[in-house]
Amino acid sequence: AQSVTQPDIHITVSEGASLELRCNYSYGATPYLFWYVQSPGQGLQLLLKYFSGDTLVQGIKGFEAEFKRSQSSFNLRKPSVHWSDAAEYFCAVGGNNNDMRFGAGTRLTVKP
Amino acid sequence: EAEVAQSPRYKITEKSQAVAFWCDPISGHATLYWYRQILGQGPELLVQFQDESVVDDSQLPKDRFSAERLKGVDSTLKIQPAELGDSAMYLCASSPRTDTQYFGPGTRLTVL
């Protein structure tokens, strides 16, 4: 069965600093991988996705993620964090039948 | 840009009452999902529709929850009777047949 682990429950970074959010997955076949962001009381917004091809994926709002099959990881990065990036971030794994499993999320706090 | 619509955004009810949530997916999206998100956790799939047919409802508590998508477009999720443990965010998402899921803003349910 597929599963996703986000090891960090809460991360605090200073505005302008770099960010990396960790995601490890378990999936029996080639996974589809996603990162979503959720502001308080809101739905989930897609940041980026990986289906195949180039393992470095660019997303919206300056985010990128790198698929590493050997490490079963799909970490999210941003070179310079803005105060508006404070939110909850969810990694998800799925397949071509549209099933998807989410991690428990990482809450990002941005210090001024 | 087309969006998934959900209503109501907030619902407060007393235990043992019935509640219903509505979702209108992005036009043309064949697949519709209902998720439950408990505070501090990632979304968990309750039910998945392909057009008007249920594809997966293995995690739907069928003694009290029901979902329908009669014409293969909009959908209703019902809880009867509501219990205290049902307090959560209920998210609706839609996708083309094999692609990314797009989420609505959610309905925050509080059961007193």
Pairwise CA distance, residues B46 & B91, whole Å:
10
Give yes or no for B48 touching A (CB within 8 A). Answer: yes
Q: Is the pLDDT of residue B98 over 90?
A: no
Contact assignment for B103 to A34 by CB distance below 8 Å: no
Length of chain B: 112
- Closest to A101 (Cα-Cα) out of A91, A109, A93, A112: A93
Burial of B45 (0-12, 13-18, 19+ CB in 10 A): buried
Which two three-digit tokens encode residue B39?
Answer: 């505070």
pLDDT digits (tens, 9 = 90+) for A79-105: 999 999 999 999 999 876 667 899 999
Q: Determine, for residues B48 and A41 on separate chains, whether the beta-carbon distance falls below 8 Å.
A: no
The mean pLDDT value of chain A amounts to 93
Nearest by CB: B98 against A46, A98, A104:
A98
Tokens representing A88 are: 């909850």
Interface residue B31 vs chain A (CB under 8 A): yes
Over residues B29-61, the pLDDT tens digits come to 999 999 999 988 999 999 999 999 999 999 999
- Evaluate if residue A1 carries a pLDDT over 80: no
- CA Rg value for chain A: 13
Nearest to A100 among B4, B97, B101 (CB): B101
CB burial class (10 A; 0-12, 13-18, 19+) of residue B16?
exposed
B46, B57 contact by CB (below 8 A): yes
Average pLDDT over residues A32-52: 92
